[in-house]
Copies of this chain bind each other. A is one copy, B any other.
Amino acid sequence: MARAGLTADRLTQAAADLADEVGFENVTVSALARHFGVKDASLYSHIRNAHDLRVRLAVLALAELADRVAEAIAGRSGKEALVAFANAYRAYAREHPGRYSATQMALDPDAAADSAAGRHAEMTRAILRGYDLWEPEQTDAVRLLHSTFHGYVSLERAGAFHRHPRGVEASWIRALDALDSVLRAWPA
């Protein structure tokens, strides 16, 4: 009886790759078991259930995304940091569609605390240091930025923009310009 050497981490990694291949909604316990050449039931010693697997995947993706963003904004400030953040975010979503979908899962408070969600908010705040924005407006701005980034890549992936000839790239640059100018002159 040869062992496949399963661990929760290896399962989560494989699930992430699987998500990018076949879509987050198609990440099933069965598919993952097939990938390792074992029976479904064997996975349940490592993960509690299918939902637990998806939560682990979400936590993994959030951490990866936070790493990418952190690297992108390191040593930059102001608009440069804003653009670097946004592009890192969007690039991750494009390169890892399944992982990105996972980051949109509703996490219960416990899982959210374990996740890198806090790092995301903190890094967004870091960008705002270049814009002379303080509480409570800072939180408003954090929410606006996050909403815009997420909304844009989410709609882009859903194909909402491709029905019009205007380049998606050009609109993205303009959106970042707009955000920069709104941050510089935040309405009182």
Contacts and interface: CB of A to CB of B under 8 A. Distances in A.
Interface of A: 25, 104-107, 112, 117-118, 121, 135-137, 139-140, 143-144, 146-152, 154-155, 157-161, 163-164, 166, 168, 170-171, 174-175, 177-178, 181-182, 185-187
Given A112-B163, A148-B148, 17 more contacts: A104-B158, A105-B158, A106-B158, A107-B158, A112-B159, A118-B163, A121-B163, A136-B166, A139-B164, A140-B171, A143-B152, A144-B171, A147-B151, A150-B154, A154-B154, A178-B186, A178-B187
Contacts of A107: 158-159
Contacts of A154: 104, 147, 150-151, 154
A158 B154 CA distance: 14
Given A151-B149, A170-B136, A161 B185 contact: no
A152 B163 CA distance: 23
A70 to B, nearest CB: 19
Contact of A171 (B139, B152, B187): B139
Contacts of A155: 143, 146-147, 150
Contacts of A152: 143-144, 147, 151
A161 B181 contact: no
6 contacts: A121-B164, A136-B166, A143-B155, A143-B161, A147-B154, A148-B151
